[in-house]
Amino acid sequence: MESTQGSISATFHHSARDDIVQVFKKWDANKDGFISRESLVEILAKVGMKESDANAFMSTVSTSDQLQYADFVEWLCFPKAMVQSGVVPLNASFLGRTCKFFVGTNWKCSLESIESVDSLIADLNKMWLDDGASMSEVELCIFPPYVFLDRVRQQLHREIRVGSQNAWDAAPGFKSTGVISAEMMHSIGCRWVLLGHSDRRNVLGETDTLIHDKVTKCLEAGLSVNLTIGETREARDAGNAISTLVDQLSAAVAHVPGDAWGRIALAYEPVWAIGEGATPCTPEETQRVLAALRAWIRDNAGPDAARACRLLYTGSVNENNAEVYARLPDVDGFVVGRAGLHISKLKSICKSLPKCNVPAGL
């Protein structure tokens, strides 16, 4: 399954630009955000794929007879530069952003039984079937605990991503007793991993070095990384918020290859702003911090990296405040804890992003 996608990407990358432009022009004419099985087969034939393989690919990536246009772009690793440079004449507004918004829901240990997991999966699937089309600009990713990952991936709608809350406990790359590697997660269909959460940094003692090693290994294994950074109340009160964040970020991404920034969603999560009774960071301060982080990425990894990397706010986001944060120019998404366990809240949060989008000022 995976190798099929890989080979299509390679073929697509090397196929004639004119063919691709023709194909996209045709979709553009449809303007409905979807591509049918028939068109997909025709398009893939242009890049040398047999009809039977194209049909198999379609079945891999979609449960229905049509495919969301945005997913097709993503699955084929369509070169974002072509979209940005205007070679591909598209009018889908989210493509101007070069990628979808991102919403992650971290289940932590909130659900501890199979029954509760199955029930939430059923609710998520219903939400997506009823309302998925209006959330097509959002990449929604569920982060369940390890033991439920395979179950969730098997049962969840294929367009909703699944990610792990961790990879390896220590010594990334070491494969022996009790270890859960990034490769294992990739093989069951996990595409994301959450790294650097303050629970693991501050309670379980994960160091910047360990987080760096995990980021590097997970990217190598083909996972995308939802990297979390955040300052404690003490660091903030001492005036060290930005320097703490930059220290955590620079350590974690020290060996991220230039073309991997599109696979990083960087979450600013002030430690003091998460969980029951906490107050979220103010929108003004959130924007100031995210702009500083984007500027750091631009200065240290280049403007393409700064555009490709999605910046998220996390910490007490809910259905009532999401729109305020979604309006901030540097917010490309959220990670939610408590609100992600309630479908109506999660739905409002997801919908707030395309509704309030303001392009970042790069």
291, two tokens: 């702009």
Cα distance from N-terminal residue to C-terminal residue, the chain = 37
34, two tokens: 């979807």
Binding to ligand PEP by residue 342, rule CB under 6 A?
A: no
Candidate list 139, 197, 206, 212, residue with the active-site label? 197
CB of 106 to ligand PEP, least distance (A): 5
Considering only 49, 336, 346, 353, the residue that binds ligand PEP (CB under 6 A) is 336
Binding to ligand PEP by residue 204, rule CB under 6 A?
A: no
Tell me the residue nearest to ligand PEP as measured from the CB.
337
CB of 107 to ligand PEP, least distance (A): 10
Binding to ligand PEP by residue 338, rule CB under 6 A?
A: yes
Assess contact for 198 and 230: CB atoms under 8 A: yes
Name which of 146 and 189 has its Cβ closer to ligand PEP.
Answer: 146
DSSP 58-86: HHHH-SSSEEEHHHHHHHTT--HHHHHTT
Considering only 163, 270, 337, 354, the residue that binds ligand PEP (CB under 6 A) is 337
Candidate list 137, 139, 159, 269, residue with the active-site label? 269
**Contacts to ligand PEP from residues 263-282, by CB under 6 A:** 269, 274-275
Binding to ligand PEP by residue 121, rule CB under 6 A?
A: no
Binding to ligand PEP by residue 196, rule CB under 6 A?
A: no
CB of 18 to ligand PEP, least distance (A): 46
Name which of 95 and 266 has its Cβ closer to ligand PEP.
Answer: 266
Taking alpha carbons only, the member of 321, 360, 316, 323 closest to residue 340 is: 316
Considering only 104, 196, 315, 354, the residue that binds ligand PEP (CB under 6 A) is 315
Degrees (nearest 5) of the Cα angle 31, 35, 38?
Answer: 130
* 269 is annotated as an active-site residue: yes
CB of 91 to ligand PEP, least distance (A): 35
361, two tokens: 């000022």
Binding to ligand PEP by residue 106, rule CB under 6 A?
A: yes
Name which of 262 and 280 has its Cβ closer to ligand PEP.
Answer: 280
Assess contact for 219 and 263: CB atoms under 8 A: yes
* 115 is annotated as an active-site residue: no
Residues known to be catalytic: 197, 269
Q: Which residues bind ligand PEP (CB under 6 A)?
A: 106, 269, 274-275, 314-317, 335-339
